[in-house]
Amino acid sequence: MIEMAIRAFTTFFATVGPVDVAALYAALTVSATPRQRRAMAVKGVVIATVILVLFTLLGKDVLHWMGVTLPAVRTAGGILLLMLSIDMVFARHSGITWTTSAETAEAEGRGDISVFPLATPLIAGPAAMGAAVLLASEAEGDLLLELTVLVALLAVMALTLGLLLVAAQLQRFLGVTGQNVITRVVGVLLAALAVQFIFDGIAASGLI
């Protein structure tokens, strides 16, 4: 259970990217009042949490209904996470977790960014959604392990909210170099987890 907790927390932390999200949030809410920033942060995290919890609880069943096997989920999820981890190690913005320039421009023109782009795709992006399904499938119906995944998700969401509430101060404290150091370290850990997911998926598929 402890192993699953560490794996789930690390995976969610890497795919949600609370530090990166907070940095972009600070840039997008420069003109907002402190009260507006707090309200948007809370609303965005709540919406993203609901989305990711739904993917955690229902994603595996939907894939099963579509005829997608557990080994396929593990392998595909591992490849997706490996792609993300490579971008993180090289401190590059990944299309898996980041907004496009057009999406950022649209967000800058909005008064309330809590739903888009904050809740999705910044917090509950494709990588985080895929991670939720992948980790839920790893639990394999074990209620305790499924609860462990949910607790890890909620812990990362709580951390994300905390960082959003102090986003401006965090950005000044860490700077670009500090953010990149954290991103690279987490990227290395995620790469190892991703490769393990791929190995497990291939082994369970019976191909080798």
Euclidean distance between CA atoms 175 and 172, whole angstroms: 6
Residue 147, number of CB atoms within 10 A of its CB: 12
pTM over 0.85: no
Q: Which of 136, 154, 131, 38 is nearest to 76 (CA)?
A: 131
pLDDT in tens, 50-106: 999 999 999 888 888 888 888 888 898 889 889 988 988 887 766 555 566 665 666
pLDDT in tens, 146-171: 999 999 999 999 999 999 999 989 88
pLDDT in tens, 37-52: 999 999 999 999 999 9
Residue with tokens 């609370």: 18
pLDDT in tens, 132-142: 999 998 887 79
Half-sphere exposure of 142 (CA within 13 A, CB side): 11
Q: What separation, in Å, do the N-terminal and C-terminal C-alpha atoms of the chain show?
A: 28
Q: What integer best gives the mean pLDDT of the chain?
A: 88
Residue 84 and residue 190 in contact, taking contact as beta carbons nearer than 8 Å: yes
CA distances from 96 to 14, 80, 123, 140, 197 (A): 12, 8, 11, 26, 18
